[in-house]
Structures are given as C-alpha cells and as structure tokens.
C-alpha cells in the first residue's frame, strides 16, 4: 500500500522520473541466480580487461616520459641524436665532431645547425 501511495504522488509530480524509478524497482526485484562458474567467468573477464587497461596506461606513461626526455648533446650517440626531428646522419656526426658544448645554443653559434633546425629540437636537447 505505501508503494501505491508513493506512485500516485509521483505521477503528478514527474512522469519520467516515475518511469525510471519503476524500471529500477523492477530490475532490483528480478532474481539474479548465477552459477558459480558464470561468476568466475565474469570475474576473470573483468580482471583481464582491467589488466589490459592498466598495461595500456603504463605504456602511455612510458611513451610520455620518453617524449619529455632531453638528449645530452655532449654524450649522446649518433642514434640518439638521429632520433631528434630533422637530424640525419650527417648532422649527428657534425654535432659529435664539435663537442663539447657549454650550452645547447652553441649548435647555432658554431654554425653546426641552422636557427630553424635548432628551434625544432631546442626543447629536446641540453648540454651537460
């Protein structure tokens, strides 16, 4: 009886809310008899999904850290230098041949790379 009184009051107040409430009540009243095997399968699926998502997050963080990492122009290998945008084998060799550098801008001052090339890589290099 009290539910009927509540329903009649709700009809006058907010019909969409009443329909949502009725759907929730009906869904809550249905039996959820699941076998232990079904529960284990669903748990295993949820666990594998969570593990896959966690792995993807970790890989994303690692990639982000790699992108933020700066390359020391005084110690980096040719391959490290060639990983910079616009730096090919010849430019990497020139950088190595003119070491050491007190500042990364020395690359421009010593005419090893152009100002435009420097602007492209300046946030990714340092001289230590």
Asked, for residue 98, whether it belongs to a domain, the answer is yes
Query: CATH number, domain at 78?
Result: 1.10.150.320
Structural domain of residue 104, as residue ranges?
A: 72-126
Helix (H) or strand (E) run with residue 72 in it: strand 71-72
Asked, for residue 5, whether it belongs to a domain, the answer is no
Going by C-alpha positions, the residue among 111, 86, 89, 97 that lies closest to residue 125 is 86
Going by C-alpha positions, the residue among 62, 65, 117 that lies closest to residue 92 is 117
Asked, for residue 102, whether it belongs to a domain, the answer is yes
pLDDT, tens digit, 9 for 90 and up, residues 98-125: 999 999 999 999 999 999 999 999 989 9
| Residue 71 contacts residue 111 (beta carbons within 8 Å) | no
pLDDT, tens digit, 9 for 90 and up, residues 53-105: 888 888 887 777 666 678 999 999 999 999 999 999 999 999 999 999 999 99
> How many domains are there within the chain?
1
């Amino acid at each position: 009886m009290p539910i009927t009184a509540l329903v009649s009051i709700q009809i006058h107040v907010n019909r969409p809310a009443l329909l949502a409430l009725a759907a929730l009540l009906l869904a809550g009243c249905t039996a959820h008899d699941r076998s232990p095997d079904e529960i284990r399968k669903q748990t295993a699926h949820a666990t594998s999904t969570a593990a896959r998502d966690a792995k993807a997050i970790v890989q994303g963080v690692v990639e982000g850290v790699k992108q933020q990492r700066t390359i020391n122009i005084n110690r980096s290998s040719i391959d490290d230098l060639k990983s910079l945008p616009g730096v090919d084998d010849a430019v990497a060799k020139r950088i190595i041949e003119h070491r050491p550098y007190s500042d990364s801008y020395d690359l421009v001052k010593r005419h090893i790379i152009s100002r435009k090339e420097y602007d492209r890589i300046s946030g990714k290099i340092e001289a230590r």
